[in-house]
Amino acid sequence: MISPVKVWRNQKFVARMVARRGVVVSWTVIRVPPADFGYQAPYPVVIVRLDGGESIAAQMVDYEEKHLAIGQKVISVVRRTIQTETDDVIPYGIKVKPI
């Protein structure tokens, strides 16, 4: 379980990072997931250079295989990051989708 205080504190980052455009500089597909991500695998993880210069690592969502490419344009979106127990705060974070 992620501490609800950490989830609350992370909201500032999420608010700042949403709806930012960028370009994929590298990509992979995680096929052997860690403990909390089992139900999502396989899923792509990309490094994106955002307009404005900052770079982030994020999952790519709503994609087709052709979007897994260096140079693919993306936009950041808010998505749930991991599955949690019913009494946990739902953790939302930044992912990216192709545009």
Partner 1 sequence: MKIYIIGAATTKFGELWGVSPRALAREAVDSALADAKLQTSDVDALFVGNMLSGMLGGQEHIGAFFAEELGLSVPAFKIEGACASGGLALHNAVNSVLSGQYTTVVVLGVEKMTDHKPEDVATALMGAGREGERLAGATFPGLYALLARVHMATFGTTEEQLAAVAVKNHYHASLNPNAQFQTPITIAQVMKSSCVADPLKLLDCSPISDGAAALIITSDKRQIIDKKPVEIIASVTATDSLGLAQRESLLELKSTKKAGQKAYALAHMAPEDIGVAEVHDCFTIAEVLAMEDLGFYKKGKAAIAIANGETTLGKSKHLVVNPSGGLKGCGHPVGATGVKQVVELVDQLKGRAGRRQCGNARIGLAHNVGGSGATATVHILMRD
Q: Interface residues with partner 1 (CB under 8 A)?
A: 25-38, 40, 43, 45-48, 55-59, 70, 81-82, 91, 93-95
3-state secondary structure of 28: strand
Q: Which amino acid is at 66?
A: K
The label of the residue with tokens 């995680």 reads: 30
29 vs 99, beta carbon nearer partner 1: 29
Q: How far is the CB of 10 from partner 1 (least distance, A)?
A: 8
Tokens of 9: 């504190």
Q: Minimum distance between the CB of residue 87 and partner 1, rounded to whole angstroms?
A: 21
DSSP state letter for 67 = G
